[in-house]
Amino acid sequence: MTGFRNMTLKRFILLLALVLVADCAAAPEKEEIQPTQVEPLMIVAINGRPLYQDQFEEFLSLTPNEPGEEPVQSQRSARFREFVMEQLLLQEAERKEVTVDEALVREQLASWLAEGQEVTPDLGERVRTFLKIQKFIKQEIRGQIEIGNQEMQRYYRRHSDEYKVDDEYHVLEILLEDRERAEEIREQLHFGDVRTFKSMARSYSQGLTAQGGGDLGTFRSGQLPENFEKVIFQLKAGEISAVFRSPEGYHIFMMEEWVPRHAQKFHEVQEAIFEKLVGEKESVALDEYVNQLFQSASIEVHDRTLSLE
């Protein structure tokens, strides 16, 4: 079943999560009409467990396409493979006696109720299924992955360009509505005197950053309006701008710190590298695990319009 190589862990978990959300948010009100009794149509038996057309149709209606894919109904075989995969993983979770903390189920249902969403009677079981598969994958796939420090170091060296940071500018500001008052305050400020600048900002600035000593934060090129960048980014560390006018009022900027483009140190990105490597191995391992499940499972397809090829 090599077709499952395209089904990554990320997409599968996304499908599970979106099924839950869609089922909760879009559940229609049901009329009090007794439905006509129709014999359920079995479409597949997985390890002796029958699954029916209505279950698959519900799965189709709630699982999204990836960008660029054709509508769901024209991708029935692809969705059928995903449907079967979910059932195989659920059976494995049950075989391994994976349990779900009912407190987590209640917590999820309560959060949806608090948001005003409708909670249908069978939603609790859907939440349990999702959490059970999620926990099983975490235990059987992620829990078996080991990433050593040397492996992370090698990745860091080979991908050093990914961890270079552009010039960063830490900026302070005083904002006033009156230009004359702004000019008076500007005359009292001096190069490199960060303490006085912050004190004046707290006392006189009318901007939202006043209580924080005028601290605007740290920026990189392209994150501020162009007219602001022309004024701010030409300042040296400790330098103070002339009074600058904008639609908000009259600004005085100080470059508290300028950090030139540099490579982040390994300890700064170690956690991100770990998560990246785990994610990559996780996806490969899940593909291999699912392929093994398909090879060993007894799957009898009863609907000729559906295929696992």
Q: Residues 60-70: what's their mean pLDDT?
A: 60
2-146+274-301 is a CATH 1.10.4030.10 domain: yes
What CATH architecture is 167-260?
Roll (3.10)
pLDDT category of residue 241 using cuts at 50, 70 and 90: very high
pLDDT category of residue 14 using cuts at 50, 70 and 90: low
Q: Residues 31-51: what's their mean pLDDT?
A: 78
Residue 2 pLDDT > 50: no
Could you report the per-residue pLDDT of 175-209, keeping only the tens digit for each? 999 999 999 999 999 999 999 999 999 999 999 99
Choose among 170, 256, 165, 172: nearest CA to 218. 170
What pTM did the predictor assign?
0.59
pLDDT category of residue 127 using cuts at 50, 70 and 90: confident
Reduce the secondary structure of the chain to three states and give it as a string. Answer: CHHHHHCCHHHHHHHHHHHHHHHHHCCCCCCCCCCCCCCCCEEEEECCEEEEHHHHHHHHHHCCCCCCCCCHHHHHHHHHHHHHHHHHHHHHHHHCCCCCCHHHHHHHHHHHHHCCCCCCCCHHHHHHHHHHHHHHHHHHCHHHCCCCHHHHHHHHHHCHHHHEECCEEEEEEEEECCHHHHHHHHHCCCCCCHHHHHHHHHHHCCCCCHHHCCEEEEECCCCCCHHHHHHHCCCCCCCECCCEEECCEEEEEEEEEEECCEECCHHHHHHHHHHHHHHHHHHHHHHHHHHHHHHHCCEEECCCCCCCC
Shared fold status for 2-146+274-301 and 167-260: no
Domain ranges of the chain: 2-146+274-301, 167-260
Residue 299 pLDDT > 50: yes
Could you report the per-residue pLDDT of 258-291, keeping only the tens digit for each? 988 888 899 999 999 999 999 999 999 999 999 9
Q: Give the pLDDT of residue 104.
A: 87
Q: Give the pLDDT of residue 78.
A: 82
Does 63 or 188 have the greater pLDDT score? 188
Share of the chain above pLDDT 90, in %: 54
Q: Residues 199-226: what's their mean pLDDT?
A: 94
Q: Which of 12-26, 92-106, 199-213 has the highest mean pLDDT?
A: 199-213
Cα distance between residue 110 and residue 79, in whole Å: 30
Q: Residues 38-55: what's their mean pLDDT?
A: 89
